[in-house]
Structure formats: C-alpha cells, structure tokens
Amino acid sequence: MGQKITIEPVTRVEGHGKVTIHLDNEGNVTQTRLHIVEFRGFERFVQGRPYWEAPVLVQRLCGICPVSHHLAAAKALDVIVGAGTGDGLTPTGEKMRRLMHYGQIFQSHSLHFFHLASPDLLFGIDADPVKRNVIALALENKDLAVQGVMMRKFGQEIIAATAGKKIHGTGAIPGGINKHLSSFDKKHFLNGEAPLNIKTMVDWSLAALEFFHDYHEKNKAVIDEFIEIPSSYLSLIRKDGALDLYHGVLRAKDQNGNIILHDVDYQDYLKYIDEEVKNWSYMKFPYLKELGKEAGWYTVGPLARLNNADFIDTPLAQKEFENFKSYNNGKPSHKAMHTHWARLIEILHSAEKMEQLLEDPDLTEGPLTVKGKKESEGVGVIEAPRGTLFHHYKVNDHDQIEMCNLIVSTTNNNQPMNEAVNQVAVKMMTGKEEISEAMMNAVEVAIRAYDPCLSCATHALGQMPLEISLFKKEKMIDKKRNR
Amino acid sequence: MNQIVKITIDGVECMATKGQYITDAAKENGIYIPTLCNYEGVKPRGSCRICTVKVNGRLMTACTTPVSENMEIENNADEIQELREAIIELLFIEGNHFCPACEKSGSCELQALAYRFHMMVPRFPYSFPQQEIDATNPKLVKDQNRCILCKRCIRAIKDEKGRSVFAYKRRSRHVEISIDPKIGKSLSDEMAQQAMDVCPVGALLVRERGFVVPIGERKYDNEPIGSDIEKLKE
C-alpha cells in the first residue's frame, strides 16, 4: 500500500505552501510536489488604476521585500513616462533608488540568514524543533543573534530614509524619486553611534562570512553534499559582466557555465521567457522558450547571480567572490546550501555599496525626476533578494493600467524547489519504515535555501506557514505536520 | 460694528462675534470642532454632520449654526463623540477607501479623522460599491470609489465666469460627482491642483503627479488633524 507524506505547514519561509511526498509499497518515492496554495490576483486588480499608483499598490504583495516590487514597478513606469530603460534617471534618482535597494537586500538577506536559516546550521537539521528558531539562537549565540537583528534594523533604516517608511514607502515615483537623503540621515548612517553605522555593518558582514567559513570547514557534508541541483541560471548582469542588483541586461548560463542567453535587453523578456500553468499549484512555472517547457527551467537568486557574474565591483566582496569561484573550480555551483554563501557575499557587497553611496553628494542635492516622450508599455526588472523580478505594464490613452504581468523571484525558482524537494525525499526517505521529524525538516531546509516568498509568488492573503504531508496512496493516511 | 457675544463650549466661556458660525467661533477660541464637508471661504452646507454639537440641548451642525448670546454648546460629550465616530465609519463603509495605495494618504481628511477618533475597523459591514474611475479629463482623474459626496469641489471650483466645473449626476445612492465635459477641458493646472486640494479625500487627483510629496511632509504626518487650531489655545 502506497503512502503520501504531507508537510504542512513548511516553516521559516515567507508565505503558505505544502509539500506532498508519495511513496509506493516498497517505500520508494514516486512523486514529490511543492504546492503553493495561496492566490492573490494583484495582476488583475491593478487594472484600471492610474499607472503612477502601481509602485505603491503592487508592493503590498509583500512585507519582506516590498522595495523590490516598488522599484521594479517604478522602473517599468520610467519607460512609460519616457525616462529611459533604467539608465535615463537623474544621478539623484538612480542613486537614491540604489541605496534603497541595497538597504533592502541587506535587511532581507540578514533576516533570512540569521532568523530563518542559521538555526539549521547552528543546531543541526535533526535538532529538536523547539530549538530550531531565532530565540534559541539568541540563547545559544547571543552575539550572532544580536548582529542579525541589528543588521536587519540598519537595512530597514536605510529604506525608511529613502522611501519614507521601513515597509511600504513611497520614495520611487515614475521618472525618479520624491526626496533627497537628509544630511542628518547621511551623518547618522556614516558616523552614527555603533553598531548602527555603515562601518560596523561592513565588519559584521565580514564576521557573518567568517562564521559561515568556520561552519563550512567543520560541516562539509551539510554545505557541499546536502543537495545538488544542476540547472540553468538566470539573472541581471551589468553590461560589463559585473554583479548588479539594480539594473543590467539578462544573462542565462547552462549548468556547465556556457552562456545561453547573451546579455539581452529585458524589455524583450517575452521573447525569451514563458510561463507554464500546472493544475496543482497557484505558482506558475517559467522557462526559457528556446529550451522548451521540460528543459528550460532555471534557477534565480544569490547563487544564480554569482554563477553568472564575471566579477564584483566592490573589493571585499570581490575577494570573497574569488574564493567562491575557486572553490567551485570556476564552474557554476549547483549546491543548494552554497546559496547561503552567495547570500552572505551579497550582504557584504550591499554594505560596501551603501558605504560608497552614502559618501556621494548626489544623494543630498540635484534634480529628482526626469520625463520624456510617453510610451504605452514598459518592463522593469530588478534583482530582488530572492532573484530576478519582472514587472510589465501596459497603459491606455487615459493613463490607466490595462495589463500587468509579474514574474516574481520565487516563481522563477518553482521548478528548482520542486527538484530540491524530490532529491531530499529520495535521499532521506526511500525505504524508510518511519518518517522522522529530521527527515521532514531536511525537506524544509532544501526549500529554505531558496528563501522562497510564497505570498509574492502567487501574488496570498492570510496565514503564512508552509506544510509537508505524507499519506498512503489508497488509504490516504495523513500524517500532516503543522509546526 | 460687530457685536461680541458670550458663549460656552463644554462649559468654557468664550467670546464670539454675533452671527459667526459655531465652527469659526470655536476655532478663534482654540477649540477644534471636526469638519469634513465644510471648507474655508465657501458657504457651509452641513451635509456630512461630522461637526454635530449640542446647542442648548439640541443636536445642530456647528458649521451652519450662527452663535448667539449665552449659547451653551457641547462639543466633547461622549454622546457627540460617539455620533462622530459612527459617521466616520459609515463614510468608510460606503465607499472603497484603500488607504495603502491612495496618493492622498497622509493628507486625507477622512483618514486623519479616523486616526484622531482611533478608528480601528468600522462596526458596519462594508458595502463595496461598484464605482468607476473617470480618467478622460486632461488634467484630473476622478475616482468615485473615494468620493464622500461633500460637494466641496462643486461649491469651490468655478471658472472665470463663475460656472461650476463639477456637478452631481444621477440620484439617490447612485449619485456621483461629474466633471463638466466642456468647462473641464479648459481646466488650468492651477485649478486642477486647487480641485485636488479642495477634495478632502483622494477622489480628485492631478494627473501624473502621484506621490511627489514624500512621507514625513504630508499634511497630517506629524500632527493629528485639528492640532493647528488647538495650538491657538496654548
């Protein structure tokens, strides 16, 4: 008699989903699925609204990385108001948005690494569930927990200073930004009392990497061997090949590191990317058209970005990037747990970028917006913390949005997460009599590496947990786990 | 010569000019009586009832009632406050007021009153009316979802010939504001901005200027509505 495992909710991720694992009579895994069970419909209810509302309205998709949606929408509308495709803004407009974005990457990555992922590393995948959380982390390793909390706070304060609020601000408007950085804020971030100044943030970003390296040294099996998901990788990249989280061209590499999408303009993304709908999930499955539905799936996010980048334009992060590349022999890393490594390098890069920007006089003076010949359609793409984020709008002659298409970072990672769930289930559960708590958590650890935001990905209201379940094929014995 | 009269507001003795509306007299004495449909410089109408006070024991609209000698006015009584709260809540449930994405948020008088009265959620069920956006005017977008039918735009915005740019159309629960198609076409930028400023909510929006005022600089970001009047007392 077959069995079906349901893990529900999957915890320490943003959003609500569940995992089902089907086992046959011999205990072999026959099917695994990550189901996203929320539906939101932002693409529909933004229709008819004046276009300038979009960056403020659509960012309500998410409370974790609203800045990404805010900026991606603003970038699409830059095109519509004739401000160019990402490089036509005033220096103040672009640099204020960049500062906001680096603050966002810094806070979101810190939240993920310290609050959501580090308990798995510190206490082990098989640790008592009561212990696998940030409170236990604070009791066990106070310094690490404090650093995590304060790094997130710093990022949030950068967002508040540029967007007006820590969550759901209004800073980016079509064609630029609505404010300068105040000289008070500039001084506070550069020379404020420790720890909330940029120098401490750079130091702590380095310390987080040290913590990771130390852990990696002692736990190679977890970081290098836990799961490996060979795939194509998609990301924005600066025209000269540098890592750029705010603007660039689209690049994709195959699993061997060969470029398969050659630095194309994202205004034409529909030429290269399509989305497939499957009847068991509200989350779509994007793929590269050229490779087709079966082979065209790809991974986005920190690991994809570092796999695609030629270099990083900040010195400390570049040094770490070189270590990362050399550890993987110059080839793309397919190790899901290396995503944490890549994420920490991006934290450091963001801190360095913020430091550079805070010294820039353009932030405190200069024109805020620019406008030109109006267009009826625009695409905005940004590297959100979780990966490449697409916003596409069409407006009518009366400035009302008539079409909106969003491909959210986690949606891009739909197939890789399903592959990861399958791989862990096969590896950990095949032929096992009893499905233990540790096995269930291992499935969640695999999903967590992608730092999914399931609410964003289904554009969902309500509770946030994700579930895993195991049940018998015929009798449907439901061992639903709610943690 | 103006005749000065003595009145009391919540037992406090105040001086006022005979014939002056209660809202104006209270304001001069540093006492805030909330208003919504009332707008300085425009003849009061008393339609929203948010300024309801008790005058010598009777419920009256303060914006349309002139003061007279020895008038006893109750403004802060529990009964009055409760009535105002209910009116605010009713205004919210009658329309589609989604503050998070409204560009008037932070400068909206209805939202500011809801904050001042600590409204958390309306006690009445939302009616979710089907309303349309009229985006055909070259200078303004009219979002009927947010209109509270205060008529401020009708009364305050006139062209150089004194004609109203705005008018009511339809009747009963279907009534809505409309922009005169002919006069509306020649609306200047200044008049469009004036119309947006006159509107207490986010029903009239100047095209393509949304969210240009940063958070922190909006009308009610730093102080609750009415604080400017109450400061006069200090």
**Does some domain include residue A123?**
yes
Determine phi and psi for B82, rounding to 5 degrees.
-60, -40
- Quick one: average pLDDT of B44-50? 95
Among B212, B213, B218, B222, the residue to mutate for chain A (most A Cβ within 10 A):
B212
Sheet holding B12-17, edge to edge: B12-17, B4-9, B71-74, B52-55, B58-61
pLDDT at A455: 52
The verdict on a CB contact (< 8 Å) between B210 and A60 is no
Q: Which domain holds residue A310?
A: 39-412
Distance from CA of A359 to the nearest CA of B (A): 22
The verdict on a CB contact (< 8 Å) between A399 and B215 is no
Predicted-complex ipTM score:
0.93
Place of tokens 């969902």: A460
Distance from CA of B158 to the nearest CA of A (A): 24
pLDDT at A118: 82
Distance between CA A85 and CA A130 in Å, rounded?
49
User: What residues of A are in contact with residue B207 (Cβ under 8 Å)?
Assistant: 50, 399
The verdict on a CB contact (< 8 Å) between A164 and B208 is no
Distance from CA of A74 to the nearest CA of B (A): 12
Query: Hey, what domains does chain B have and what are their CATH numbers?
Result: 4-76 (3.10.20.740), 84-206 (3.30.70.20)
The verdict on a CB contact (< 8 Å) between B103 and A49 is no
Q: Which amino acid, one-letter code, is at A172?
A: A
Domain count, chain A: 1
Over its C-alpha atoms, chain B yields an Rg (Å, rounded) of 19
**Does some domain include residue A441?**
no
Facing residue for B133 by CB, picked from A48, A165, A168: A48
Distance between CA A455 and CA B98 in Å, rounded?
20
User: What residues of A are in contact with residue B214 (Cβ under 8 Å)?
Assistant: 164, 170-171, 178-179
Distance from CA of A55 to the nearest CA of B (A): 9
The verdict on a CB contact (< 8 Å) between A52 and B100 is no
Distance between CA A423 and CA A352 in Å, rounded?
36
pLDDT at B64: 97
**Does some domain include residue A147?**
yes
**Does some domain include residue A357?**
yes
**What are the pLDDT tens digits along chain A (483 aa)?**
577 777 776 665 566 677 888 888 888 888 888 877 556 688 888 999 999 999 999 998 887 889 999 999 999 999 999 998 877 999 999 999 999 999 999 999 998 888 888 887 778 777 777 777 778 888 888 888 899 999 999 999 999 999 999 999 999 999 999 999 999 999 999 999 989 999 999 999 999 999 999 999 988 988 998 889 899 999 999 999 999 999 999 999 999 999 999 999 999 999 999 988 887 777 788 999 999 988 999 999 999 999 999 999 999 999 999 999 999 999 999 998 999 999 999 999 999 999 999 999 999 999 999 999 999 999 999 999 999 999 999 999 999 999 999 888 888 888 888 888 888 888 888 877 777 778 877 888 888 877 776 555 544 333 345 565 665 554 544 455 544
Among B97, B98, B136, B215, the residue to mutate for chain A (most A Cβ within 10 A):
B215
Number of other residues whose CB lies within 10 A of the CB of residue A152? 20
The verdict on a CB contact (< 8 Å) between A53 and B101 is yes
pLDDT at A467: 60
The verdict on a CB contact (< 8 Å) between B133 and A53 is no
**Does some domain include residue A288?**
yes
Phi-psi region for residue A27, left (φ > 0), alpha (ψ -120 to 50) or beta?
left
Q: Is B29 exposed, middle or buried (CB count within 10 Å of its CB: 0-12, 13-18, 19+)?
A: middle
The verdict on a CB contact (< 8 Å) between B210 and A178 is no
Q: Is A153 exposed, middle or buried (CB count within 10 Å of its CB: 0-12, 13-18, 19+)?
A: middle
The verdict on a CB contact (< 8 Å) between B214 and A57 is no
Residue of B nearest to A54 (CA): B101
Distance between CA A464 and CA A481 in Å, rounded?
15
pLDDT at A383: 97
Query: What's the pLDDT tens digit per position in B152-174?
Result: 999 999 998 999 999 999 998 89
| Nearest residue to B85 (alpha-carbon basis) of B44, B56, B120 | B120
Query: What's the pLDDT tens digit per position in B172-223?
Result: 889 999 999 999 998 999 999 999 999 999 999 999 999 999 999 999 999 9
Assess contact for A50 and A143: CB atoms under 8 A: no
**Does some domain include residue A247?**
yes
Distance between CA B155 and CA B158 in Å, rounded?
8
User: What residues of B are in contact with residue A55 (Cβ under 8 Å)?
Assistant: 211
Helix (H) or strand (E) holding A172: strand A172-173
The verdict on a CB contact (< 8 Å) between A173 and B101 is no
Assess contact for A114 and A144: CB atoms under 8 A: yes
User: What residues of A are in contact with residue B135 (Cβ under 8 Å)?
Assistant: 50, 398-400
Query: Going by DSSP bridges, is the β-strand pair A172-173/A176-177 parallel, antiparallel, or unpaired?
Result: antiparallel
Place of tokens 């009256």: B60
Determine phi and psi for A212, rounding to 5 degrees.
-65, -45
The verdict on a CB contact (< 8 Å) between B209 and A52 is yes
Determine phi and psi for A297, rounding to 5 degrees.
-70, 155
Facing residue for B211 by CB, picked from A60, A165, A178: A178
Facing residue for B212 by CB, picked from A56, A165, A178: A178
pLDDT at A308: 97
Query: What's the pLDDT tens digit per position in B1-18?
Result: 689 999 999 999 999 999
pLDDT at A410: 83
Interface of B with A (CB under 8 A): 100-101, 103, 133, 135-136, 141, 205, 207-216
Distance from CA of A399 to the nearest CA of B (A): 7
- Quick one: average pLDDT of B65-80? 96
**Does some domain include residue A424?**
no
**Does some domain include residue A92?**
yes
Instruction: Assign residue A140 the CATH number of its domain.
Output: 1.10.645.10
CB burial of A54-71 (b: ≥16 within 10 Å; e: otherwise) equals bbbbbbbbbebbbbbbbb
Query: Going by DSSP bridges, is the β-strand pair A17-23/A466-471 parallel, antiparallel, or unpaired?
Result: parallel
Q: CA-CA distances (angstroms) from residue A336 to A222, A333, A364, A381, B45?
A: 10, 8, 41, 24, 67
Helix (H) or strand (E) holding A99: helix A91-110
Q: Is A27 exposed, middle or buried (CB count within 10 Å of its CB: 0-12, 13-18, 19+)?
A: middle
Distance between CA A260 and CA A283 in Å, rounded?
25
User: What residues of B are in contact with residue A179 (Cβ under 8 Å)?
Assistant: 214
User: What residues of B are in contact with residue A164 (Cβ under 8 Å)?
Assistant: 214-216
pLDDT at A470: 61
Instruction: For residue B21, give the DSSP letter.
Output: B
Residue of A nearest to B217 (CA): A164
